[in-house]
Structure 1
């Protein structure tokens, strides 16, 4: 396999990239990562079906999320929940338990996520199970 050229830009078209079912009404399309030459961060898009919420979890690095479309709630353990509108942008420090919820029972919701490490992990708060975010894209 040929290694990506770190001096060459990439244009990624989500409609042409395999989407991965995360279960429970959430699906993810990985975008920037090592396969295009990234050395410092990864990102992607997660879509939430109407009414979908993902479990509380945390990461081993900083995370930023942009609400691309829909109505969302950000729940942060130990803090007041925050309602998000399209293009609202969040920043979360490492190891802070949180989750996103689609507030609509009829419309989808979509987020762009960015993790500050290539080896970003997701640890489920309830079970303590930890997986690399990139491993979810191999399912």
Structure 2
């Protein structure tokens, strides 16, 4: 992105109020659903945000990103694995994971829901599954979400 030196790079991002309850959620598989929030679709040029909701016992596969990621627990308790070490985290605990570091989240409860807020440090964020090596753009998942029926 090229920004004039006298203007901030985020100058073209229009103000927005995003309400997760009114946005499309899509399945990540295994009992996890994602709601994209700040995305290219609303004008993001620098970062991406969204929420992922985990049913009791749900988790996501071990993966890496091509940029740093921060996650805050909004609801419930989770186990986060970062580079082979597991940590128990709870409401408002926040993680920082550097680019290329394997990590995953799973709901620590078998019955109660868990919700996270994620922030990627790039609108060009990708996710690579450790098990398969398959890489996909995160915003490609957002496009898929728009095409799926709302939960």
TM-score, structure 2 normalization: 0.85
Gaps of 5+ in 2: 1-10, 145-151
Greater C-alpha Rg = 2
Alignment coverage as a number of residue pairs: 134
Matched, 1:87 2:92: yes
CA change 1:118–1:93 in 2 (3 A) is same
Equivalent residue number for residue 78 of structure 2 = 72
Unaligned runs of 5+ in 1: none
In structure 1, the residue matched to 2:64 is 58
Secondary structure in 1 matching 2:52: strand
3-state SS in 2 of match to 1:9: coil
**Given the two structures, how large is their TM-score scaled by the length of structure 1?**
0.92
> CA RMSD for the aligned pairs?
1.2
Q: Does 1:32 align with 2:34?
A: no
Instruction: Deviation per CA, 1:68-100: give whole Å up to 9, x if none.
Output: 00110111233x211001000111100000100
